[in-house]
Amino acid sequence: MTVEGKKILLGICGGIAAYKSADLASRLKKAGADVSVVMTESAKQFIGPVTFQGLTRHRVYDHVFLDEKEGQIAHIDLADEADLMIIAPATAQTIARLAQGFADDMLTTVALATKAPIWVAPAMNVHMYEHPAVQHNLQLLESYGYHVIGPAEGHLACGWVGAGRMTEPADIMREIESQFSIQKLSGKKLLVTAGPTKEALDPIRFLSNQSSGKMGYAIAEAARQAGAEVTLISGASLADPKGMTVVHVTSAQEMHDAVMQRFATCDAVIKAAAVADYRPEHTASRKIKKSDGPMTLTMVRNPDILKALGEHKKDQLLVGFAAETDHLEDNAKKKLNSKHLDMLVANHASDGFGSETNKVTLYFADGRKQALERMQKQQVARHICNALSGLFEMSVSK
């Protein structure tokens, strides 16, 4: 499935990056999408509506009180018919209005009324973007279910260098195409693991790692948006995502038990969790007091969840992760084969832990590999789900 025949609402705000929206509208139209443009008043100070009328072959919507056809309520009809609404560029002003639920122009009114996914591509000065108010508003939008694309880093029109550039239309286009191509997960039952495990040393201390769980949560959300029935098994301290079953665990043994109990009834497992390989042999019942000299700690192996899944899988697809400090490809291929995986997502340890972005390479059991550029973890998640849907298609055709 591509964007052909999809009804796309393109919202345009008042910023210098508005010229890029013409490129995006053109790309969408050439790909067969039915594009309608909604502009703010300030957007028209940077680029004229006639440009978008020519590109889309539709009138441009720039005011709530239009000369409407009989029986038509323009902003409701636009909202109801849309398959996707993308606001690019999205200024700090419009982001704030969306976050607070304003409906004081055509763009915000349509955004409130639509049930379609809404994406925003911020574009502004780097210091504006980094301001706590803007970051808070973006977080609010994400909590509402909005998807934030970018911004990219680089030279800005204001002369500063940093985050604030609107994501390039070609990159946005690829992401839109990916969004519609991963709908094939509808009806699939997915098990996703996320976050670190914590291995208790005593009632106060534990051993763990730097995983935040953000990658696993992004995958779970992308799979849910693609129509999958998702169970997320998490060792992370993140808010529960909506629309899925969330199982909280602490230790590697707990995660092992939770996964194995549900494995037989799922169609695929995406094991993004960073599970501890070892745990203390003994957990003290009381706080360990410091003493003179070194402390010796005996460690024992935790169960290898991925290996157990590989040994017990039947028709399920199995996706693993590998974070390496060196010899990335050699270690990735070794893990892919030894754990009987269908796909492995590999990255250098410095590329993903604790950040909002990741740079990964996908390795497949049939020898293929796909190297992705550095991008937001939500974008990486959609690529992973897209690849998984391809594996499902291949398994059906065999």
Distance (Å, whole) CA 317 – CA 267: 6
Contact 170, 375 (CB under 8 A): no
Grouping H, G, I as helix, E, B as strand and the rest as coil, residue 225 is: helix
The secondary structure of 252-278 as a DSSP string is HHHHHHHHHHHHTT-SEEEE--B--SE
Helices 214-225 and 377-397: crossing angle in degrees, nearest 10, is 50
Closest CA to 383 of 145, 220, 172, 175: 175
Grouping H, G, I as helix, E, B as strand and the rest as coil, residue 345 is: strand
Closest CA to 87 of 152, 163, 18, 156: 18
Amino acid residing at 89: P
Among left, alpha and beta (phi > 0; psi -120 to 50; other), residue 10 is beta
Distance (Å, whole) CA 356 – CA 273: 16
Closest CA to 29 of 56, 61, 1: 56
In the annotated binding site for CTP, the residues are: 277, 287, 303-306, 321, 335, 339
Helices 305-312 and 252-263: crossing angle in degrees, nearest 10, is 20
For residue 219, the surrounding DSSP H or E stretch is helix 214-225
Q: Decide if 158 is catalytic.
A: yes
Two tokens, residue 366: 């049939």
Pick the catalytic residue: 13, 158, 266, 385? 158
> Beta partners for 148?
120
Distance (Å, whole) CA 140 – CA 13: 19
Distance (Å, whole) CA 390 – CA 285: 49
Closest CA to 360 of 219, 255, 221: 219
> Beta partners for 85?
9, 118
DSSP code for 145: T
Active-site residues, by number, are 158
